[in-house]
């Protein structure tokens, strides 16, 4: 305000301003006057970190050179820098982002794979989170009353970098960081990312209502469910499945009935659910629909979902997305502070809260086709862009980390259409969707452009991906290989191909088993429930023998080595949290990955088999094969920085102290 205007402020205007300020405080505006730092120091710098999951350095370089990624080129032309970024071992998303979150490797943070196992029972468990119900309950009739709350634990060890920044008084916003569910305790604004479950507690289960015979492949922790329905008098009655109702004996699934009224000749229908009505045309997506599942009269959980009317006739086909937690009323913690998700909901309306919102399973199973999958993922992208713009707009100081999942998810599903050598390559589809990956990189470039526009000369911009990508042409059946080599024994060998979850394993004669996507465990005495191999020299010799043989194994079809390197965990990892570590970590060769059935204890017939699925790109190779990307508007001081180095670099930008157990080092000039 100019001096003249300030002088001209009348007494009446002064009083009005005072009243307005008072009203602002009374009506919730008080937060604006709250100090925005939490420690002693105040941030004097700004840093924007974009986490672009799965962006590959080779593809990025190629498309920069072709002029398709102008923002990336701009950052280099303005004196910035680019390096392939050393990824984690194994280069799986939860492992890699945990490296970045903590500045440690899996030996420090304890996340070694998507899956781990309960060594006593050999039952697979999620490695990143642990959920337990109420410890004590009482039962009255069919009602179960919990006497204590359940628990969800984030199993990652070590401090997250935003917690360290908080201690140093640097405000941060961390948006959808993978492997941060439930979000670790912090006063910083954080929204949970990958691993955040849907309302059923899974990684995402869609519902598909149809009168066409349909089967879908179930996935560990997610997937979908087909509901056979009948169209009677142009009306369909169905139920939407929700969470298990732990307030009822036997924890039956809570459901919501809904009805679909189809027009007799128009390709449209009215859907009525919980008193709410909406109309969809054929091949049209709904807006977010609010649903609530009543568990007992005083308890209900709230969710949001999308409906897609795929077809009304001749067959009826209705897809309902996994039910996301309602960010306005989340059943489980998804943000810190808890009000952050509510704040975003108030501004943007309902939004995707499940960890990875793209429904790869629906595409894999043919429930959604390529175009429909991309439409859904475009919603995810546009929503992320709007929220990025919002967060950039209020970034006055400190750190903003913002995550995009689109490049990772689309490369998983569309790599087959850029690789003519892939078993699932389809020339017709390739002509239509062969440029999806390139277009996705262009979209990531738009996100960077947005960030660069916000960045002033003092703002450090860092762009990273957790790993690169390559084709997944052939699947390696680790457990079948162990069986053939005599390291694993079955009780009924003639039922080998029917085995799952090691239900056919003779543990008394088994020396090794594969569990998870890159992990091999020795059946160690004292550690495993029915351990056989003595710890110490026996085990060490066995580990070396298996590792050597794995690296020597060849694919009879191609003559290539499916396993490029078999890493011996205790010689590879640093840190003290190795108790749940696998004994060998498989680093696959280009074009190879673990098969679909082996990770959960299956034994298909062949050791190596074609991957004919739409999930056709992957990143479980040896880390050297698949680095991620690191771009900055500064200079890197290291030729080959690693993910954990960027953590130390973030801390160094703000002058925050690096913990002793952090193995990363600053690599920014």
Partner 1 sequence: MSIVNLVFGGIVGAVLWPFRGLSPWFGLTVVSLLTALLMLEVYKHTSNQAAIRRAKDLIKAHLLEMRLYKDNMRVTLAAQGAILKANLAYMAANLKPLAVMIVPLVLILAQLSLWYDRAPLRPGEEALVKAGLEAAADPVSLGLELETPPGLEITAPAVRIPDLHQVVWRVKALAPGTGRIVLRTGDRTVEKSVVVGGGPMAKVSALASRGSLWKQVLYPGEAPLPAGTSVRSVEILYPAKSLTAFGVSVHWLVAYLILSIVFGFAFKGVFKVEI
- How many beta carbons lie within 10 A of that of residue 576, not counting itself? 12
* Closer CB to partner 1, 278 or 348, in the complex: 278
Q: Which two tokens stand for residue 376?
A: 């859904």
Strand partners, 594: 476
528 phi, psi to nearest 5 deg: -80, 155
Q: How far apart are CA 471 and CA 518, in angstroms?
A: 16
| Contact by Cβ (8 Å): 184, 160 | yes
* Closer CB to partner 1, 233 or 559, in the complex: 233
Q: How far apart are CA 490 and CA 177, in angstroms?
A: 41
* Closer CB to partner 1, 284 or 369, in the complex: 284
Residue 386 CB, nearest distance to partner 1 (Å)? 15
How does DSSP classify residue 488? Answer: -
Q: Name the 3-class secondary structure at 372.
A: helix
Q: Name the 3-class secondary structure at 43.
A: coil
* Closer CB to partner 1, 260 or 455, in the complex: 260
Residue 628 CB, nearest distance to partner 1 (Å)? 39
Q: How far apart are CA 471 and CA 489, in angstroms?
A: 32
530 binds partner 1 (CB under 8 A): no
Residue 26 CB, nearest distance to partner 1 (Å)? 8
**Binding string, residues 261-290; x marks residues near partner 1 by CB under 8 A:** xxxxxxxxxx------xxxxx--x--x---
Residue 478 CB, nearest distance to partner 1 (Å)? 51
* Closer CB to partner 1, 68 or 283, in the complex: 283
* Closer CB to partner 1, 328 or 438, in the complex: 328
Q: How far apart are CA 364 and CA 415, in angstroms?
A: 13
Residue 10 CB, nearest distance to partner 1 (Å)? 23
* Closer CB to partner 1, 244 or 267, in the complex: 267
* Closer CB to partner 1, 234 or 640, in the complex: 234
* Closer CB to partner 1, 289 or 510, in the complex: 289
27 binds partner 1 (CB under 8 A): yes
Selected range binding partner 1 among 132-140, 258-266, 612-620, 622-630, rule: CB under 8 A: 258-266
Q: How far apart are CA 537 and CA 159, in angstroms?
A: 35
Residue 268 CB, nearest distance to partner 1 (Å)? 5
Size of the site for partner 1 (CB under 8 A): 23
DSSP line for 387-408: HHHHHHHT--SEEEEEEE-HHH
* Closer CB to partner 1, 234 or 637, in the complex: 234
**Binding string, residues 181-220; x marks residues near partner 1 by CB under 8 A:** ----------------------------------------
Selected range binding partner 1 among 24-32, 151-159, 628-636, 646-654, rule: CB under 8 A: 24-32
Residue 266 CB, nearest distance to partner 1 (Å)? 4
* Closer CB to partner 1, 25 or 76, in the complex: 25
* Closer CB to partner 1, 269 or 334, in the complex: 269
Residue 370 CB, nearest distance to partner 1 (Å)? 25
Strand partners, 248: 143
Phi-psi region of 367 (alpha: psi -120 to 50; beta: other; left: phi over 0): alpha
* Closer CB to partner 1, 318 or 448, in the complex: 318
* Strand ranges of the sheet holding 268-273, from the earlier edge strand across to the other edge: 235-244, 253-262, 268-273, 276-281
Q: How far apart are CA 96 and CA 191, in angstroms?
A: 18
Burial-class residue 220 by CB neighbours within 10 Å (0-12, 13-18, 19+): middle
Residue 19 CB, nearest distance to partner 1 (Å)? 14
- How many beta carbons lie within 10 A of that of residue 213, not counting itself? 8
Residue 379 CB, nearest distance to partner 1 (Å)? 16
Residue 233 CB, nearest distance to partner 1 (Å)? 6
Selected range binding partner 1 among 26-34, 289-297, 478-486, 654-662, rule: CB under 8 A: 26-34
Query: Minimal CA–CA distance to 191: which of 409, 407, 393, 355?
Result: 355
**Kind of pairing between the strands at 563-568 and 268-273:** unpaired
* Closer CB to partner 1, 45 or 302, in the complex: 302
Strand partners, 210: 228, 317
| Contact by Cβ (8 Å): 63, 441 | yes
b/e per residue 55-90 (b: at least 16 CB within 10 A):
bbbebbeebbeeebbebbbbbeeeebbbbbbbbbbb
Residue 261 CB, nearest distance to partner 1 (Å)? 5
Own/partner contacts of 335-338, CB < 8 Å, gap of 24 or more, are: 335/183, 335/189, 335/190, 335/191, 335/192, 336/183, 336/184, 336/185, 336/186, 336/187, 336/188, 336/189, 336/190, 337/187, 337/189
* Closer CB to partner 1, 70 or 337, in the complex: 337
Residue 322 CB, nearest distance to partner 1 (Å)? 24
Residue 236 CB, nearest distance to partner 1 (Å)? 12
**Kind of pairing between the strands at 46-52 and 519-522:** unpaired
Residue 280 CB, nearest distance to partner 1 (Å)? 7
Q: Quick one: how far is CA 354 from the chain centroid?
A: 9
- How many beta carbons lie within 10 A of that of residue 310, not counting itself? 20
Q: Which two tokens stand for residue 369?
A: 């086709």
User: What residues between 28 and 67 interact with partner 1 by CB under 8 A?
Assistant: 28
Residue 281 CB, nearest distance to partner 1 (Å)? 5
* Closer CB to partner 1, 277 or 669, in the complex: 277
Q: Residue 440 to residues 226, 330, 405: CA-CA distances in angstroms?
A: 30, 30, 10
306 binds partner 1 (CB under 8 A): no
User: What residues between 228 and 257 interact with partner 1 by CB under 8 A?
Assistant: 233-235
Interface residues toward partner 1, by CB under 8 A: 26-28, 233-235, 261-270, 277-281, 284, 287
């Amino acid at each position: 305000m100019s001096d003249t205007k300030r002088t001209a402020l009348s007494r009446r205007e002064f009083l009005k301003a005072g009243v307005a300020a008072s009203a602002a405080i009374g009506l919730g505006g008080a937060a604006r006057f709250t100090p925005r730092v939490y420690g002693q120091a105040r941030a004097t710098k700004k840093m924007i970190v974009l986490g672009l999951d799965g962006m590959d350095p080779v593809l990025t370089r190629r498309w920069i050179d072709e002029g398709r990624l102008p923002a990336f080129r701009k950052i280099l032309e303005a004196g910035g820098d680019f390096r392939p970024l050393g990824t984690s071992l194994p280069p799986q998303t939860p492992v890699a982002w945990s490296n970045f979150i903590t500045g440690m490797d899996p030996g420090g943070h304890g996340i070694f794979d998507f899956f781990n196992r309960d060594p006593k029972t050999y039952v697979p468990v999620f490695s990143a989170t642990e959920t337990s119900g109420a410890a004590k309950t009482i039962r009255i009739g069919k009602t179960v009353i919990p006497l204590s709350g359940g628990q969800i634990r984030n199993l990652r060890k070590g401090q997250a970098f935003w917690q360290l920044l908080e201690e140093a008084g640097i405000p941060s916003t961390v948006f959808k960081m993978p492997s941060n569910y439930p979000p670790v305790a912090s006063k910083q604004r954080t929204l949970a990312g990958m691993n955040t479950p849907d309302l059923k507690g899974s990684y995402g289960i869609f519902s598909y209502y149809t009168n066409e015979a349909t089967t879908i492949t179930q996935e560990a922790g997610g997937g979908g469910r087909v509901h056979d329905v009948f169209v009677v008098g142009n009306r369909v009655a169905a139920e939407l499945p929700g969470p298990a109702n732990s307030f009822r004996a036997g924890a039956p699934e809570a459901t919501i009935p809904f009805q679909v009224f189809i027009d007799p000749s128009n390709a449209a229908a009215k859907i009525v659910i919980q008193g709410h009505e909406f109309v969809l045309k054929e091949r049209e997506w709904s807006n977010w629909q609010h649903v609530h599942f009543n568990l007992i009269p005083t308890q209900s959980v709230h969710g949001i979902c999308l409906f897609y009317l795929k077809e009304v006739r001749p067959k009826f086909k209705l897809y309902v997305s996994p039910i996301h937690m309602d960010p306005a009323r989340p059943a489980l913690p998804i943000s810190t502070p808890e009000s952050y998700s509510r704040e975003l909901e108030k501004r943007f309306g309902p939004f995707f809260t499940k960890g990875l919102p793209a429904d790869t399973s629906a595409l894999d199973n043919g429930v959604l086709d390529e175009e429909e999958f991309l439409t859904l993922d475009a919603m995810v992208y546009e929503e992320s862009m709007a929220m990025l713009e919002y967060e950039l707009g209020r970034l006055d100081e400190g750190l903003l980390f913002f995550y995009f999942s689109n490049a990772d998810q689309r490369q998983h599903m569309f790599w087959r259409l850029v690789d003519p050598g892939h078993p699932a390559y389809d020339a017709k589809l390739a002509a239509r969707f062969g440029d999806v990956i390139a277009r996705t990189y262009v979209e990531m470039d738009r996100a960077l452009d947005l960030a660069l526009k916000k960045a002033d000369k003092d703002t450090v911009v860092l762009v990273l991906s957790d790993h690169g990508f390559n084709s997944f042409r052939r699947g390696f059946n680790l457990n079948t290989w162990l069986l053939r080599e005599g390291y694993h024994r079955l009780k009924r060998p003639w039922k080998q191909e029917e085995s799952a979850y090691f239900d056919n394993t003779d543990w008394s004669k088994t020396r090794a088993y594969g569990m998870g996507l890159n992990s091999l465990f020795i059946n160690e005495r004292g550690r495993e429930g029915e351990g056989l191999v003595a710890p110490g020299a026996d085990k060490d010799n066995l580990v070396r023998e298996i590792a050597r043989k794995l690296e020597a194994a060849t694919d009879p079809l191609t003559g290539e080595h499916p396993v490029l390197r078999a890493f011996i965990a205790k010689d590879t990892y640093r840190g003290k949290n190795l108790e749940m570590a696998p004994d060998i970590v498989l680093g696959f060769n280009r074009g190879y990955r673990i098969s679909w059935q082996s990770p959960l204890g299956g034994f298909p017939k062949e050791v190596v088999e074609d991957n004919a699925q739409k999930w056709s790109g992957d990143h479980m190779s040896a880390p050297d094969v698949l680095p991620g990307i690191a771009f900055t508007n500064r200079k890197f001081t290291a030729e080959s920085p690693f993910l954990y180095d960027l953590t130390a670099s973030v801390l160094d930008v703000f002058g925050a102290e690096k913990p002793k157990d952090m193995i990363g080092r600053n690599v920014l000039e």
